[in-house]
């Protein structure tokens, strides 16, 4: 950052305030100061730390995951939870029913028999109406004693832990938070539990009562804002947080996302950023586990490349990280993709981390990913065949559902 950028950063506030007046969310997220945030740039490090934290739990472990596989990683995860229950630690788990549809029911029955209290999110039912079938709990969250939280894009599976062949691995990223922000995550977990069970978990009623005083201990220097989104909200808080962060950029925007179906508002914000001199770089997958989404994402390339936005496709591993870095100091990171599903139909959880140190770590990680990527140029993109162009137009008709 240059000294001159001090003045360009002062221009952010008017842009943000104008955007907030247009968005007008019901409740603005609260920013929590003095948190410690630790980055886990790969699967092995993330799961080692997660397992160690579960072993250290003394009171409760709260877990909310979209996908849990019955493989080596899932088996080790289940063993850690069972051992925690043996130590009289309460373990509560919410898993997405559709996300885990390929996981044998015996896996979850075994967890229940070993004392884990669990809820499948959104089991098929007409009670909520036909439209509710399309809703997913896409969060990835583990909370230890209300003091330590693990978030990010990692599901529980071998492809995330990095113990499969390179071309089958998911390139993902996670992080942990210790500090006051964790209490907000506990509240969000309680809200999801109550939504499915109809009542709060008994050991957490005090957490939701509003009588508990926030911890005044300074764990670190990071400011953390927790952004929770879901179809129960009148508008997309996840998209609004992205828009506000994009509007705040004065120098550089770097975005890594596996599913790029941003919609017109995000596209307009990216183009406005380039017009005010902000460098914008997108890191997208060269191979995607949902090929039709990748095809749809490439339909946006032409308009973006013509305006000077740089696009790179990660080769080797399958990109699954969801990260946005603003001016090297503000990081938006979590479970939400830049797509319509994450904006409107999934329950998601993101953290906005204001920290030069954490931002520097994210920047170095992303620069390494760019080195393993192929840059897309407009001339090459325009040479794609007529079949690809036709398929893009057809898929665009269904972009809302992807």
53 and 190 in a common domain = yes
113 and 234 in a common domain = no
382 and 261 in a common domain = yes
Residue range of the domain that includes 260:
8-35+217-402
Look at the block and give the residue holding tokens 């583990």. 142
196 and 88 in a common domain = yes
Q: What integer pLDDT is reported at residue 2 of this predicted model?
A: 47
241 and 204 in a common domain = no
Higher pLDDT: 313 or 214? It is 313
210 confidence band (pLDDT: 50, 70, 90): very low
Of 370, 136, 380, the residue nearest 256 (C-alpha): 370
Task: Tell me what the mean pLDDT of segment 82-89 comes to.
Answer: 98
- Measured CA to CA, the distance from residue 186 to residue 131 in angstroms comes to 28
Global pTM reads 0.89
270 and 392 in a common domain = yes
Task: Tell me what the mean pLDDT of segment 46-68 comes to.
Answer: 98
3 state DSSP class of 278: coil
346 and 281 in a common domain = yes
For residue 1, being part of any structural domain is answered with: no
For the ranges 137-141, 210-214, 323-327, 388-392, the lowest mean pLDDT is seen at: 210-214
339 and 292 in a common domain = yes
For residue 165, being part of any structural domain is answered with: yes
324 and 203 in a common domain = no
Catalytic positions, please?
A: 138, 140, 145, 320, 322, 327
343 and 387 in a common domain = yes
Residues 291-308 pLDDT 10s: 788 888 888 999 999 999
Q: What integer pLDDT is reported at residue 347 of this predicted model?
A: 96
For residue 2, being part of any structural domain is answered with: no
360 and 267 in a common domain = yes
168 and 29 in a common domain = no
201 confidence band (pLDDT: 50, 70, 90): confident
For residue 25, being part of any structural domain is answered with: yes
To the nearest 10°, the Cα dihedral for 44, 47, 50, 51? -110
Provide, rounded to the nearest whole percent, the portion of the chain with pLDDT above 90. Answer: 71
The CATH number linked to 238 is 3.30.870.10
Q: How many domains does the chain have?
A: 2
């Amino acid at each position: 950052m240059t000294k001159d950028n001090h003045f360009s950063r002062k221009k952010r506030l008017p842009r943000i305030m104008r955007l907030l007046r247009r968005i007008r969310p019901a409740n603005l997220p609260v920013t929590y100061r003095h948190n410690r945030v630790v980055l886990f740039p790969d699967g092995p490090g993330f799961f080692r730390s997660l397992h160690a934290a579960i072993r250290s739990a003394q009171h409760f472990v709260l877990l909310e995951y979209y996908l849990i596989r019955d493989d080596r990683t899932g088996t080790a995860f289940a063993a850690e939870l069972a051992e925690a229950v043996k130590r009289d630690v309460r373990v509560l788990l919410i898993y997405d029913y559709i996300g885990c549809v390929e996981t044998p029911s015996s896996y979850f029955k075994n967890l229940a028999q070993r004392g884990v209290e669990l809820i499948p999110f959104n089991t098929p039912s007409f009670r909520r109406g036909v439209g509710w079938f399309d809703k997913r709990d896409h969060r990835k969250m583990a909370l230890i004693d209300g003091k330590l939280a693990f978030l990010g894009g990692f599901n529980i599976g071998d492809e995330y832990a990095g113990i499969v062949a390179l071309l089958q691995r998911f390139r993902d990223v996670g992080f942990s938070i210790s500090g006051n922000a964790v209490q907000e995550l506990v509240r969000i977990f309680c809200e999801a539990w109550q939504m499915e069970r109809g009542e709060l978990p008994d050991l957490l009623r005090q957490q939701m009562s509003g009588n508990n005083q926030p911890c005044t201990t300074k764990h670190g220097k990071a400011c953390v804002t927790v952004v929770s989104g879901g179809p129960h909200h009148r508008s997309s808080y996840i998209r609004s947080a992205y828009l506000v962060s994009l509007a705040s950029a004065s120098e550089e925007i770097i975005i890594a996302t596996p599913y790029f179906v941003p919609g017109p508002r995000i596209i307009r914000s990216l183009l406005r950023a380039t017009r005010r001199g902000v460098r914008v770089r997108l890191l997208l997958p060269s191979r995607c586990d949902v090929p039709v989404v990748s095809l749809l994402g490439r339909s946006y390339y032409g308009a973006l490349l013509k305006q000077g936005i740089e696009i790179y496709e990660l080769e080797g591993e399958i990109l699954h990280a969801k990260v946005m870095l603003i001016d090297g100091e503000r990081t938006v990171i979590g479970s939400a993709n830049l797509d319509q599903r994450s904006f409107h139909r999934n329950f998601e959880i993101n953290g906005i981390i204001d920290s030069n140190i954490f931002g520097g770590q994210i920047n170095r990680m992303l620069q390494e990913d760019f080195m393993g990527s192929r840059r897309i140029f407009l001339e090459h993109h325009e040479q794609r065949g007529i079949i690809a162009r036709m398929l893009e137009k057809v898929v665009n008709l269904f972009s809302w559902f992807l």
